A and B are shown apart, each in its own frame.
Chain A
Amino acid sequence: MNIFRLAGDMTHLFSVLVLLLKIHTIKSCAGISLKTQELYALVFTTRYLDIFTDFISLYNTVMKLIFLGSSFSIVWYIRRHKIVRRSYDKDQDTFRHYFLVIPCLVLAVFINHKFTFKEVMWTFSLYLEAVAILPQLVLLQRTRNIDNLTGQYVFLLGAYRALYILNWIYRHFTEPHYVHWITWIAGVVQTLLYADFFYYYFQSWKNNEKLQLPA
Chain B
Amino acid sequence: EEQEDIKDEL
A residues adjacent to B (C-beta < 8 A): 5, 9, 12, 50, 54, 56-57, 60, 63-64, 67, 113-114, 122, 164, 167, 180, 183
> Are B10 and A122 closer than 8 Å at their CB atoms?
no
> Are A56 and B8 closer than 8 Å at their CB atoms?
yes
> Are B5 and A60 closer than 8 Å at their CB atoms?
no
Q: Chain B contact residues: over half helix, strand or loop, or mixed?
A: loop
How long is the Cα–Cα vector from A5 to B9 in the complex, in angstroms? 8
> Are A64 and B5 closer than 8 Å at their CB atoms?
no
> Are B10 and A60 closer than 8 Å at their CB atoms?
yes
Q: Chain A contact residues: over half helix, strand or loop, or mixed?
A: helix
Q: How far is the CB of A59 from chain B (nearest CB, A)?
A: 9
Q: How far is the CB of A56 from chain B (nearest CB, A)?
A: 5
Report B-chain residues with C-beta under 8 Å of the C-beta of A64: 10
